[in-house]
């Protein structure tokens, strides 16, 4: 493989179609039940293998030291785990909003782990990569496995699901929300009864974090109230993004046109398989590392 060649990979967003907090463990992590689905709105990562041992992030994020960036951390943890002597140069085209509940950082980390696993010929299985990923964030395993799933535990126990692939209007008011702030808040409900089944009625479920967020973030509360006038709407993750469900792209675009100018938004299609999986299959064929 030529060192000068960059390879490009998708890093998709996810939605939590619902999010129940069913308990809290002694280590501080929360026990969750949630349904993950991907959407076709992605950051892109360009990765080039180098012969040095260094990991270079060529597009640093303002205010975030490279050593604190999940992209760097993912490459480093894989390098250390496999004792890989190669390095990498990584660029990111960031379009997913930060602090939105779309899992952008976790998705970036997963894409790096999966891509470098092939580019460095580490030959770790998806299960092994997911175990590494859990140290970087509870959402990383879903992006590694790459299929829509009902998740339990802290988000790492996955059961494949095939929810309807609706069109979504994803809207973010002019605020960002810290996941840590929400999960450590004293008023967060932590006792939603467990579903006890993987036969899920999404409409009968809810987002426990949404209940807390709309009490403390009026911009989220106001936008959600407005969107509910048009179609089913719910906050994803710990927010601040809200997804509104439609049967067609045109319907979603029409409501997007009615949003206030200060609201960041995009229209995307639900996907039950991450686009990254197909890209990695192409890469495997090109590199002939796995046969």
Lowest mean pLDDT among 3-12, 42-51, 188-197, 262-271: 3-12
Structure tokens at 183: 């999960």
Which regions of the chain carry the CATH code 3.30.230.10?
A: 7-161+273-287
Per-residue pLDDT of 143-187, as tens digits, reads 999 999 999 998 889 999 999 999 999 999 999 899 999 999 999
Find all residues with CB under 8 Å of 196, minimum gap 6, and list them: none
Find all residues with CB under 8 Å of 69, minimum gap 6, and list them: 57, 60, 61
Q: Is the pLDDT of residue 289 over 60?
A: no
pLDDT of residue 29: 85
pLDDT of residue 98: 85
160 contacts 149 by C-beta, under 8 angstroms: yes
Class of domain 7-161+273-287: alpha beta
CA distance to 108, 115, 185, 206, per residue, from 278 (Å): 17, 12, 39, 32
Find all residues with CB under 8 Å of 37, minimum gap 6, and list them: 14, 15, 17, 148, 163, 165, 270, 271, 272
Q: Could you give the CA distance from residue 15 to residue 270 in angstroms, rounded to a whole number? A: 9
Structure tokens at 109: 């980390």
State the virtual CA torsion across 124, 126, 129, 130 in degrees, nearest 10. Answer: -160
- Quickly state the pLDDT bin for 4 (edges 50, 70, 90): low
Q: Could you give the CA distance from residue 179 to residue 183 in angstroms, rounded to a whole number? A: 6
74 contacts 48 by C-beta, under 8 angstroms: no
Which regions of the chain carry the CATH code 3.30.70.890?
A: 167-268
Angle (deg, nearest 10), helices 218-228 and 208-216: 120
pLDDT of residue 156: 87
pLDDT of residue 290: 44
CA 70 to mean position of chain CA atoms: 12
Per-residue pLDDT of 136-151, as tens digits, reads 998 999 999 999 999 9
Q: Could you give the CA distance from residue 88 to residue 49 in angstroms, rounded to a whole number? A: 4
Query: Which CATH architecture describes the domain 167-268?
Result: 2-Layer Sandwich (3.30)
Per-residue pLDDT of 67-114, as tens digits, reads 899 999 999 999 999 999 999 999 999 999 988 999 999 999 999 999
Q: Is the pLDDT of residue 61 over 90?
A: no
Positions marked active-site: 14, 139
CA 147 to mean position of chain CA atoms: 12
């Amino acid at each position: 493989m030529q060192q000068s060649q960059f390879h490009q990979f998708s890093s998709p967003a996810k939605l939590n179609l619902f999010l129940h907090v069913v308990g809290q463990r002694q280590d501080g992590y929360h026990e969750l039940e949630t349904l993950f689905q991907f959407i076709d709105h992605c950051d892109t990562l360009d990765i080039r293998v180098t012969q040095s041992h260094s990991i270079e992030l060529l597009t640093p994020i303002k205010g975030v030291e490279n050593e604190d960036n999940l992209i760097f951390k993912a490459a480093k943890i894989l390098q250390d785990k496999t004792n890989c002597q190669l390095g990498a140069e990584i660029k990111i085209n960031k379009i997913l909003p930060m602090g939105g509940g779309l899992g952008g950082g976790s998705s970036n980390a997963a894409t790096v782990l999966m891509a470098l696993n092939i580019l460095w010929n580490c030959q770790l299985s998806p299960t092994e990569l997911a175990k590494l990923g859990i140290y970087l964030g509870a959402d990383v395993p879903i992006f590694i496995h790459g299929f829509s799933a009902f998740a339990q535990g802290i988000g790492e126990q996955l059961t494949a699901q095939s929810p309807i692939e609706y069109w979504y209007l994803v809207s973010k008011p002019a605020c960002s929300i810290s996941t840590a702030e929400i999960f450590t808040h004293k008023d967060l409900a932590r006792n939603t009864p467990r579903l006890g089944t993987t036969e899920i009625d999404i409409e009968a479920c809810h987002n426990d974090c949404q209940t807390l967020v709309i009490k403390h973030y009026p911009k989220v509360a106001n936008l959600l109230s407005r969107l509910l006038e048009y179609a089913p709407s719910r906050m994803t993750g710990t927010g601040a993004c809200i997804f509104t469900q439609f049967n067609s792209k045109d319907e979603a675009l029409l409501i997007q046109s009615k949003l206030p100018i200060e609201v960041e938004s995009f229209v995307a299609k639900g996907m039950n398989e991450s686009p990254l999986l197909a890209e990695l299959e192409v890469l495997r064929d090109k590199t002939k590392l796995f046969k």
